[in-house]
Structure 1
Amino acid sequence: MVLAVKGTEQEELQSRDRAPQSATVSPTTGFFFTSPYRSLSTQGCFAKITQPAADGDNLQGAFQQGVQQAFAQARQAGVTNPVLCGAIPFDTRQPSALFIPQQTQWFERQAFMASVKPTLAALPTIVRQSELPKQTQFMQMVADAVQVTGGEQLEKVVLSRLLDIETSKQIDPHALMMRIIAQNPQGFHFHVPLNEGALVGASPELLLRMCGSQFHSNPLAGSARREADPLQDRQAGERLLVSSKDRHEHQIVTAGMRQVLHGRCRHLHIPAVPELLSTPTLWHLSTPIDGEVADRAENALSLACLLHPTPALCGTPMLAARELIAQLEPFERGLFGGIVGWCDAEGNGEWVVTIRCGTVKANQVRLFAGAGIVPDSSPQAEWHETGTKLSTMLRAFGLQG
């Protein structure tokens, strides 16, 4: 456990209960996260936790014990209701980017959205952008994955690509976040401060929300591009709902989640048929899941780590999919494809998957998008699907997807 404690003066610490609710909420002063459930903004850092979360689902494991130790130290220093927030990478064997803030302000998202006047002024000019991998290589990756998923060892794998952008001058993080929020009003908006720069985005996918012993999840798998014409748009959604390829991809995800959850639940409800969920750019197949844990000692982070990475972000079986991703993708995902959110000392919390996102550092931006590959996948179609997903973030920089 790497535990770096800062600001040990008790008078410097404020719990969430003492946070000034009337203060202006800032999306870039620290960790920022919006949700229909609970939204928060933080300032300062009491303790950083970089311990990998590979055993995070084990309540007696090193990661969970380290988190509880950090909570205890925060309470002793005067934080009466400490919160852990930040991000966990795609590969949980890598260091986490988590911390306990000095100050936490809870707010209601709808009121925040109504009060904010986003600046849509042009951001700095994009002077250079490059794709990693290029289209030919990505399509070959997909073709190779299709061959593997046609065998007995792998049902599905998720492959991704990056878009690197350089702008003419440093990007204003506040203006960028306002654009992201305005253009994706229903997403889970997040800003995670990193050692250098920040991770920002508007995820559409809830991995795990927990309140008391009750939890909820909403996996997405299978998607289609939305259309400007209302009739064509509705037809695109209807085609997705009956697509055998996308329904198969989605069923793999829900079956995988059932397998890992059922042994830890007193009650688990997973609908047999998916429904449609829409974002400004895509239709998704969606299955709302709810349940009740069998052990009250479970917390939002233990269940999130149990689920992560889901077949929607990695594939199934998970270990075989993760190995193939490492072989095919010409980069390390880092925080991309991971999870971002928060958990309090009572075990309540919320975690979303780190998609529709990017990292920002001065005038350098890196965007991320992935697609699920199954035997019926088309390399050309998967290239276009990832391009549509990238358009969500590209628009935040004044570009059309």
Structure 2
Amino acid sequence: MKELEAIASQEVDWSGYAFDDVLRAFLNTSFYRQLSVAAWRLPNQRAQHVILDTSGEASLTEWQLEELTPGFIASPFINPEEKSPYIRADIYYRSGKSECEAVCGSNQATEVHTFLHQQLKKQQSAQVHTVPLDASFSSLEATTFNNMVAEAVEAIERGDFKKVVPSRSKLVPLPDNFDAARTFQQLCDTYPTAFVSLFSIPGVGTWMGASPEILVSISSKKNRKTFRTVALAGTQSVQGENPLKNAAWRQKEIEEQAMVSRYIINCFKRIRLREFEEDGPKTTAAGNLLHLRTDFTVDMEATNFPELGSVMLKLLHPTSAVCGMPKASALDFIQQYEGYDRSFFSGFLGPVNMQEETHLFVNLRCMQLLDQRAALYAGAGVTIDSEPEREWKETEMKMRTIQQIMTNE
């Protein structure tokens, strides 16, 4: 990272500690010094990352990805102003490194780095920032959720929209021995193909999860930048010895996924981008669940579109996979019937300009950490062929992805 340089330390060899020990030290430093922290592990990669923002402020930033210094962004589902909390990479650690890195010449970063050393040696239980539960939060019973799905199907039959993604939430108790750093590591071990993340911001709270859905990805290879996004929809549980090969999809899930793909293609058309590659749909596994997935790739050099990431982010979010289509009418239905604030669930999050790459994911399979409790969230794509009881079971399967890790089931 060009903006960062190593801080020499004779006190601690960071590579001598497991990543969850390092993460625990970062979380405790964040908690006691009232700083923002974020950790992540990209899909199909072994490297784990954690950063600390030493500014002491939960700054909001506009979605101009190309202009941002290295850091981590997290956006709520509803975000009309297109500004999101941003965690700067003032102090950065990657698993296996012998040193932390900090902004060159930052006295504050050096001071916090010393505090990190002390926390690493103490190895106390991880502390995180929590906020009071939003007053609108409600745990829907099956009957109430199923009635909402039935209302959605009727609205689709009237022609109000083609698809909508109602969601629900529920509170579950945290185990007595719950530790956020250990749970992060368990998510990494259990879901190697997912984006595992954790962020904790004073006054905003703490969220963690394992998401399968790429929103915007910009990677560099041989000085060539590539844009990627994914259409992911349709859900069923993993079954049998060869679930990817033997998965059978109903017409409902096939059409639901096709709608998400068409939504992405329409976004490309709006910016007159015709040079893209489309691969799929294919069955893909995300933990104990299967989905239909189509990958879209754009050569940013060949198309001469350096701002493609920011432009597509504004067009895509919220995607039809978490909202519906047409977007405006589906969002109206969600705000009328869900009855609670999704907050960061089905928003987006991820590292920005870290090693000159940006990877943003839809915040799915996630939980909000509260005092002695966690709030779980899940949604289900509703089309004209939806059955309320099936959609309820789908949300139960999605919540179980996180709950099983949290409770060590």
Answer yes or no: same fold by TM over 0.5. yes
- The match for 2:327 is 318
Question: Would the aligned equivalents of 1:86 and 1:340 in 2 still touch at CA under 8 Å?
Answer: yes
The amino acid across from 1:315 in the alignment is G
> 1:219 and 2:247 equivalent?
no
Task: Tell me what 2:140 maps to.
Answer: 133
TM-score, length-scaled by structure 1? 0.76
Secondary structure of the 2:318 match is coil
Q: Distance in 1 between matches of 2:174 and 2:49?
A: 30
- Does 1:86 find its partner at 2:73? yes
Deviation at 1:22, TM superposition (A): 5.9
In the other structure, the counterpart of 2:115 is none
Deviation at 1:246, TM superposition (A): 0.8
CA contact (8 A) 1:49 1:99 kept: yes
1:306 equivalent to 2:318? Answer no
The 2-side partners of 1:260 and 1:88 are apart by 20
CA positional deviation for 1:186 = 2.1
Once the two structures are superposed, residues 275-332 of structure 1 have per-residue CA deviations (whole angstroms, 9 ceiling, x without a partner) of: 0101221110011111134454316444323311111111111111111100110211
- Structure 2: unaligned runs, 5 residues or longer: 27-36, 98-136
Aligned counterparts of 1:107 and 1:295: Cα–Cα separation in 2: 35
- The aligned runs of 1:54-93 (5 Å cut-off) are 56=63, 64=64, 68=67, 71=68, 82-93=69-80
Query: What letter corresponds to residue 406 of structure 2 in structure 1?
Result: F
User: What fraction of aligned residue pairs are identical, expressed as a percent?
Assistant: 22
Shift, 1:165, TM fit: 1.7
Larger CA deviation: 171-180 vs 373-382: 171-180
- For the Cα contact (< 8 Å) 2:73–2:352, is it kept in 1? no
Q: Report the counterpart of residue 31 of structure 1 in structure 2.
A: 38
Tell me by how many angstroms 1:167 deviates. Answer: 3.4
Amino acid paired to 2:77 = F
TM-score (norm 2): 0.74
User: Structure 1 residue 187: deviation in Å?
Assistant: 1.2
CA distance in structure 2 between the aligned counterparts of 1:44 and 1:335, rounded to whole angstroms:
20
Once structures 1 and 2 are overlaid, which stretch shifts more, 379-388 or 206-215? 206-215
TM-superposed CA distance for 1:396, in Å, is: 1.4
Distance across 2 between alignment mates of 1:17 and 1:379 = 54
Inter-partner Cα distance in structure 1 for 2:364 and 2:353: 23
Task: Decide whether aligned partners of structure 1 residues 399 and 162 sit closer, same or farther in structure 2, where only a CA change above 3 A counts.
Answer: farther
Q: CA deviation at 1:269?
A: 1.7
- The counterpart of 1:50, out of the listed 60, 63, 77, is 60
Query: What amino acid sits opposite 2:388 in the alignment?
Result: P
Counterpart for residue 265 of structure 1 = 273
How much does 1:374 deviate? 0.3
Question: Aligned partner of 1:217: which letter?
Answer: T
Task: Check 1:244–1:342 CA distance in 2 against 1; reply closer, same or farther (3 A cut).
Answer: same
RMSD of equivalent CA atoms: 3.0
Is 1:179 aligned with 2:186? Answer: yes
**Are 2:343 and 1:351 aligned?**
no
Q: Deviations over 1:212-263 (max 9, x none)?
A: 5421122210111122x426x467x5312xx211110001000001111232
Aligned ranges 1:228-243 → 2 under 5 Å: 229-230=240-241, 233=243, 237-240=246-249, 243=250
The answer to whether the aligner puts 1:41 opposite 2:29 as a matched pair is: no
Equivalent position of 1:74 in the other structure: none
Aligned CA distance change for structure 1 residues 44 and 142 (closer, same or farther; 3 Å)? same
Segments of 5+ residues of structure 1 without an aligned counterpart are 1-13, 57-63, 72-81, 110-129
From 347, 361, 366, the equivalent of 2:370 is 361
Shift of 1:18: 3.3
Distance, in Å, in 2 between the alignment partners of 1:261 and 1:342 is 24
